[in-house]
Structure 1
């Protein structure tokens, strides 16, 4: 389920970027280039030969990379599809079963158990399905593909290092189509940087050991910027009228400002009054509403899909005792074809909406909100047929 994050490009060093052979061309020639790069970096030639001996191009990986239609769903539909009562029950059961592990994570890294339980559930259904793509093949296939080679090349070298440590088998290690491994789906470089031997057996086994996977995930979130002791999100109610252009992840304000506008917690009290926060309206001002605290931004270091991030963040609050969200009565959204039409219109107006894919991502949301404000429509970043028709 995880959408590969472009932020893993941070693991690519300037030297590797300069030395990297080009993408594309003959696959065997590309692999030979990788072998030369690995040997030049100091890996033993015999080890490099063994690592790459079984690597094959996998067209299924490329099809998966280009077919992520699930992220075209609106938040309410997506959340209801992913969050079942069974997942709630198993999450609570796992919280009890691994209580001591979660206590250690909260003590050492400050990440609440609900946050990791939600990722564990969404990434692999609590470890039940961790992906059946050969990881080495996936990484090399995606590095050879010229869409985002710089994101995947460093992961190949990280996998080679794991192989040298005895923690990766290029012939048998499997995971997600984008190269993530284990119960919480971590990339090879993530494992090198944040792998933790949570069960004390001397190995970091993210595929078979929940303590290892959960501890490693907690360390990674801490490394990505999670702030200990701070909330991440809570549900709110919004007034019938306010300046909707102030909403969105890029417009944090003091809680006092939101309260003065009529924004209120849906239940209980504000989780923090000393932190800036953003009002998020995933389906416009008539739909569900949430307040996002600074920790919410850490989710985007894990995954770049707005819908996935919001759903994972919400599920974490549910696992920590929050009620089911109020779906409200949002204005009907656009179909996939209409969303693509809208993106093309916005692109012609000079907005950077990224790929025309029918997905309401951050760039499209920002463009929608700007055009809504220009046209005098409620600037809540939720595209409707009214907006589509207004964009001549």
Structure 2
């Protein structure tokens, strides 16, 4: 996994009281980590400076099984990630960094729109790196919870990054799982893939936008990116089409699909690729796409179809294309970040203490939403949708 989208992009995980931990067991684990670090070529001074002082943050344990890419309806997920704000900001980034992006494309063969789309989804163009100290999270996850071996590897990779001088300790903040920097690389991916594109002798994906953009393109190239090819095309299914043959891993020649009556929804010609898959992210009643190798490359960045569609569709918007032609199968579409902020303001106006208006639908916002849903006779699910926004936009008596 190259990266994990920040929880703030689509909503925060449910709040939970951090569990206690066994201090003696933790101390023994740190001693084992010290031996592992030494065997990996990490000096005792580096380990003692950056791991010995760490106090575990057990709140990360609740996040091990929380991934919004799999829990959130795709129309909600995309509404917050591929909104007008991000499209406008992305176009501004394309212009501001045009020279760097042209060089990146020349070296790695990945188009500027795709690279900038990854940047936009991962950190909102560098404005949201995440707030969790990596060493704290990774040390905790190396000693507690599931997948300790995986997180130990990430912790050791982080220590090597520090020891090599690529990133300063204060730059090591990010997601709970350890992804950090402009395009949210996991530390082990950073060690393998990151490049020094600005020529300063450091591979710095925190302080150097050129390094971050080039490293992202390098990742996609090494994941099988095909220069000049599209990631996919929205298609129309014929009546009665057997959707059991759909799925990202069911790859067939495009001719297989065309022979069964599948057509591009815009009337254009489908390419003659030998590897394509029919993907229905919301089932038969929603939009359908034929996707190609470049979709797989995007998917490899963070193995979730919703995530891959966010990158792919944002890159299309940055090229001047519109979103899906077919509608999502819902009568209550999701909210953009602006819509979420508007909803939060309306909740505050009705007396709910939800904290800051930030567009992140966390536990306090969901509790307020449930209260308003109950008052309005709506299904009480804590979801921030357009129906609720419209209902609350009608002034309540006394407001």
Q: Into which bin does the TM-score normalised by the smaller protein fall?
A: 0.7 to 0.9
Displacement of 1:263 after TM fit?
1.3
Q: Are residue 32 (structure 1) and residue 34 (structure 2) matched?
A: no
SS of the equivalent of 1:253 reads: coil
Runs of 4+ in structure 1 off by over 4 angstroms are: 169-172
Deviation at 1:170, TM superposition (A): 4.6
Work out whether residues 226 and 298 of structure 1, in 8 Å CA contact, stay in contact via their aligned partners in 2: yes
2:46 is the counterpart of 1:47: yes
Instruction: Tell me the SS of whatever aligns to 2:259.
Output: helix
Q: CA deviation at 1:197?
A: 2.0
Alignment check: 8 A CA contact 1:281 1:287 kept: yes
Check 1:95–1:176 CA distance in 2 against 1; reply closer, same or farther (3 A cut): same
1:180-329 superposed matches below 5 A: 180-267=179-266, 269-270=268-269, 272-328=271-327
RMSD over equivalenced CA pairs, Å? 2.5
User: 1:284 and 1:197 mapped to 2: Cα distance?
Assistant: 42
Structure 2: gaps of 5 or more residues: 6-21, 333-399
Between 1 and 2, higher relative CO (CA 8 Å, sep ≥ 6) is seen in 2
State the TM-score, normalized to the length of structure 1: 0.74
Distance 1:270 1:99, change over 3 A: farther
Query: Unpaired runs of 5+ in structure 1?
Result: 5-22, 334-392
In the comparison of the two structures, how many residue pairs are matched?
Answer: 315
- 1:268 Cα deviation from its structure 2 partner: 5.7
Q: Deviations over 1:94-147 (max 9, x none)?
A: 111111221122221121222221211111111001011001111111222231
Change (3 A) 1:231 1:130: same
1:4-83 equivalence runs, <5 A: 26-69=25-68, 71-83=70-82
Output the CA distance in 2 between the equivalents of 1:25 and 1:193. Answer: 35
Residue 278 and residue 105 in structure 1: after superposition, are their counterparts in 2 closer, same or farther (change >3 A)? same
1: CA distance between counterparts of 2:139 and 2:91? 38
The 1:268–1:55 alpha-carbon spacing in structure 2 relative to 1, beyond 3 Å, is farther
Conserved? CA contact 1:233–1:314, under 8 Å: no
Residues 306 and 202 of structure 1, relative CA distance in 2, 3 Å threshold? same
Q: Secondary structure at the match of 1:300?
A: helix
For 2:295 and 2:112, locate their aligned partners in 1 and report how far apart those are by CA, in whole Å. Answer: 15
CA contact (8 A) 1:123 1:183 kept: yes
